[in-house]
Amino acid sequence: MTRNMELRRREFLQVLGAGGAGLVLGVIRPVPLAGQEGAFVFKPNEFIAIDRQGRVTIWVARSEMGQGARTAVPMMVAEELEADWEKITVVPALAHPTKYGSMSTGGSTTVRRGWEPLRRAGAAAREMLITAAAQYWGVDRATCKAQAGTVLHMPSGRKLDYGDLVVTASRLPVPQEVALKDPSTYRIVGSKRARLDTPEKLTGKAVFGFDFTFPGLLVAVVARSPVFGGRFRSCDAAAALQVKGVQRVVRIPSGVAVVANSTWAALQGREKLVVEWEEGEHAGLASPAIDDYFRRHSGLEGRVVREEGDFAAAAAAAPTRLQAEYSVPFIAHAPMEPMNCTADVRADRVEIHAPMQSPQGAQEAAAEITGLPLDQVHVHTTLIGGGFGRRLMNDFVEEAVHLSKALGAPVKVVWSREDDMRHGFFRPASFHRVTGLLDAGKKPVGWHHHIVAPSISVQLFGEGDGRGNPDAVDGAAQIPYRMGNIHIDYVMANTAVPVTWWRSVYNSQNAFVNECFMDEMAHAAGADPVQFRLDLLPADSRLRAVLQLAADKSEWGKSLPPGRGRGIACHACFGSFAAHCAEVEVDGSGRLRVTRYVCAIDCGQAVNPDGVKAQMEGGVIFALSAALRGQITIAKGGVVQGNYDTYEPLRINESPEILVHLVPSHLPPGGVGEPGVPPVAPALCNAIFAATGVRVRQLPVSSTSLMRSGE
The predicted pLDDT at position 711 comes to 42
How many structural domains compose the chain? 3
- Of residues 115 and 37, the one with the higher pLDDT is 115
40 pLDDT band, cuts 50/70/90, is: low
Please tell me whether residues 457 and 322 are part of one structural domain.
yes
The answer as to whether 419 is a domain residue is: no
22 pLDDT band, cuts 50/70/90, is: very low
Average pLDDT of 284-295?
A: 98
Task: Give the 3-state secondary structure percentages of the chain, helix then strand then coil, rounded to 5.
Answer: 35, 25, 40
Res. 704: pLDDT tops 90:
no
The predicted pLDDT at position 279 comes to 96
pTM for the model stands at 0.93
**Cβ contact 98:22 at 8 Å:** yes
The predicted pLDDT at position 376 comes to 98
The predicted pLDDT at position 239 comes to 98
Please tell me whether residues 303 and 367 are part of one structural domain.
no
Please tell me whether residues 184 and 237 are part of one structural domain.
no
**Cβ contact 690:575 at 8 Å:** no
The answer as to whether 201 is a domain residue is: no
The predicted pLDDT at position 468 comes to 60
Average pLDDT of 425-447?
A: 98
Distance separating alpha carbons of residues 564 and 691, to the nearest angstrom: 5
The predicted pLDDT at position 705 comes to 67
The predicted pLDDT at position 481 comes to 98
Average pLDDT of 462-486?
A: 86
Please tell me whether residues 185 and 214 are part of one structural domain.
no
Q: Which of 364, 390, 414 is the last residue of a domain?
A: 414
Res. 389: pLDDT tops 70:
yes
Average pLDDT of 25-39?
A: 40
Please tell me whether residues 161 and 248 are part of one structural domain.
no
Distance separating alpha carbons of residues 69 and 56, to the nearest angstrom: 17
Q: Which of 414, 441, 471 is the last residue of a domain?
A: 414
**Cβ contact 282:637 at 8 Å:** yes
The answer as to whether 421 is a domain residue is: no
Please tell me whether residues 319 and 347 are part of one structural domain.
no
Average pLDDT of 247-261?
A: 98
Rg (CA), the chain: 27
- In sequence order, what are the residues at sequence separation of 6 or more whose Cβ sits closer than 8 angstroms to the Cβ of residue 295? 431, 452
Please tell me whether residues 242 and 151 are part of one structural domain.
no
Distance separating alpha carbons of residues 241 and 263, to the nearest angstrom: 15
What is the maximum alpha-carbon separation in the chain?
Answer: 84
Structure confidence by residue, pLDDT tens digits, 594-622: 999 999 999 999 999 999 999 999 999 99
Distance separating alpha carbons of residues 448 and 310, to the nearest angstrom: 11
20 pLDDT band, cuts 50/70/90, is: very low
In three-state form (DSSP H/G/I as H, E/B as E, the rest C), the secondary structure along 392-448 is HCCHHHHHHHHHHHHHCCCEEEECCHHHHHHCCCEECCEEEEEEEEECCCCCEEEEE
The predicted pLDDT at position 237 comes to 98
User: What's the CATH code of the domain at 324?
Assistant: 3.30.365.10
Structure confidence by residue, pLDDT tens digits, 314-331: 999 999 999 999 999 999
Sheet with 158-161: strands ordered across: 144-147, 150-153, 158-161
Provide the Cα torsion 93, 361, 363, 28; round to 10°.
40
Structure confidence by residue, pLDDT tens digits, 637-676: 999 999 999 999 999 999 999 999 999 999 999 999 999 9
707 pLDDT band, cuts 50/70/90, is: low
Structure confidence by residue, pLDDT tens digits, 536-593: 999 999 999 999 999 999 999 999 999 999 999 999 999 999 999 999 999 988 999 9
User: Residue 99: which region, alpha, beta or left (left: phi > 0; alpha: psi -120 to 50)?
Assistant: alpha
Distance separating alpha carbons of residues 220 and 270, to the nearest angstrom: 9
Res. 19: pLDDT tops 80:
no
The answer as to whether 181 is a domain residue is: yes
The answer as to whether 659 is a domain residue is: yes
Res. 418: pLDDT tops 50:
yes
Please tell me whether residues 70 and 171 are part of one structural domain.
yes
Give φ, ψ of 387 to 5 degrees: -130, -60
Please tell me whether residues 374 and 434 are part of one structural domain.
no
**Cβ contact 522:567 at 8 Å:** no
The predicted pLDDT at position 506 comes to 98
Distance separating alpha carbons of residues 35 and 13, to the nearest angstrom: 40
The answer as to whether 116 is a domain residue is: yes
The predicted pLDDT at position 50 comes to 97
End-to-end Cα separation, the chain, in angstroms: 51
- Of residues 109 and 27, the one with the higher pLDDT is 109
Please tell me whether residues 256 and 293 are part of one structural domain.
no
Give the range among 28-37, 387-396, 553-562, 598-607 with minimum mean pLDDT.
28-37
Please tell me whether residues 104 and 235 are part of one structural domain.
no
462 pLDDT band, cuts 50/70/90, is: confident
Q: Which of 190, 223, 249 is the last residue of a domain?
A: 190
The answer as to whether 195 is a domain residue is: no
The predicted pLDDT at position 467 comes to 54
Distance separating alpha carbons of residues 22 and 707, to the nearest angstrom: 56
The predicted pLDDT at position 16 comes to 41
36 pLDDT band, cuts 50/70/90, is: very low
Helix, strand or coil for residue 268? helix
The answer as to whether 196 is a domain residue is: no
% of the chain surpassing 70 pLDDT: 93
- In sequence order, what are the residues at sequence separation of 6 or more whose Cβ sits closer than 8 angstroms to the Cβ of residue 445? 314, 318, 437, 438, 439, 483, 484, 485
Average pLDDT of 26-39?
A: 40
Q: In terms of residue numbers, what domain contains 630?
A: 287-331+426-703
Please tell me whether residues 254 and 350 are part of one structural domain.
yes
572, β-bridge pairs:
577
Res. 109: pLDDT tops 80:
yes
The predicted pLDDT at position 27 comes to 34
Structure confidence by residue, pLDDT tens digits, 119-134: 999 999 999 999 999 9
Average pLDDT, whole number, for the chain? 93
